[in-house]
Amino acid sequence: MIDPTILQAGLPILLAALAFGYLLGSIPFGLVLTRLAGFGDVRSIGSGNIGATNVLRTGNKKLAAATLLLDMLKGTAAVLVTVHWGLDAALAAGFAAFIGHLYPVWLGFKGGKGVATYFGVLLGLAWQGALVFALVWLAVAFTTRYSSLAALVAAIVVPIALYLFGFRDITLLFTVMSLIVFIKHRANISRLLDGTEGKIGAKG
């Protein structure tokens, strides 16, 4: 957990943290890895998303795992690199990395849904919250095989858990990020309600 007593950053540092976080978060690892592996454009299959769940629809589990790890680590790295500038800088960089994944400039601001990067930012700021997210996600995913539903339930639980754990300084940030996760999953929510949502491991 980041020490909240670290001196808070000034405006130039915050802007630098935002820029760094956004550029790091906007790297589309899912698209890059699938192209390098010879699978073409991952946006042409399944949900059209660049995240690990859609990469898994290529049938390559290792590629999906690599995408998940890299999308997660860019959120964690954004936090850990900028924490030396202050807590505010780390929060700004983490949020910007999340937004960068959702709206990467390289892809016309059409990116992923941010769940892995959300988790990575959470891991960098409060490992306890990341543990809660992981346990909830695994439980829901295992019982339903819906990655989207697992992410949505975890996104509800995390801000509550952070508040109860006493991480008041980051609860608001993750409340906002969770709301954005829901917005980005609008189509998934509709498919879940009508029973047409793709399950984990289903090929596109």
pLDDT tens, position by position, 115-143: 999 999 999 999 999 999 999 999 999 99
Domain that holds residue 146: 11-194
Summarised one tens digit per residue, pLDDT across range 49-59 is 788 878 888 87
Instruction: Round the average pLDDT of the chain to a whole number and report it.
Output: 90
Query: Does residue 85 form part of some domain?
Result: yes
Query: Does residue 199 form part of some domain?
Result: no
Summarised one tens digit per residue, pLDDT across range 167-184 is 988 999 999 999 999 999
pLDDT at 164 over 50: yes
CB atoms within 10 A of CB 86: 20
Query: Does residue 132 form part of some domain?
Result: yes
pLDDT at 7: 45
Q: Which of 152, 174, 154 is nearest to 163 (CA)?
A: 174
Query: Does residue 77 form part of some domain?
Result: yes
Query: Does residue 4 form part of some domain?
Result: no
Summarised one tens digit per residue, pLDDT across range 82-111 is 998 988 999 999 999 999 999 999 898 988
Query: Does residue 1 form part of some domain?
Result: no
Instruction: Provide the domain count of the chain.
Output: 1
End-to-end CA distance of the chain: 39
Summarised one tens digit per residue, pLDDT across range 19-59 is 999 999 999 998 899 888 888 888 878 777 788 878 888 87
pLDDT at 54: 81
In terms of C-beta distances under 8 Å and separation of at least 24 residues, what long-range contacts does 42-46 make, across chains too? 45/204, 46/198, 46/202, 46/203, 46/204
CB atoms within 10 A of CB 194: 8
pLDDT at 5: 42
Which residues neighbour 170 within 8 Å (Cβ) at sequence distance 6 or greater? 91, 125, 126, 129, 162
Nearest-angstrom CA–CA distance, 151 and 197 = 14
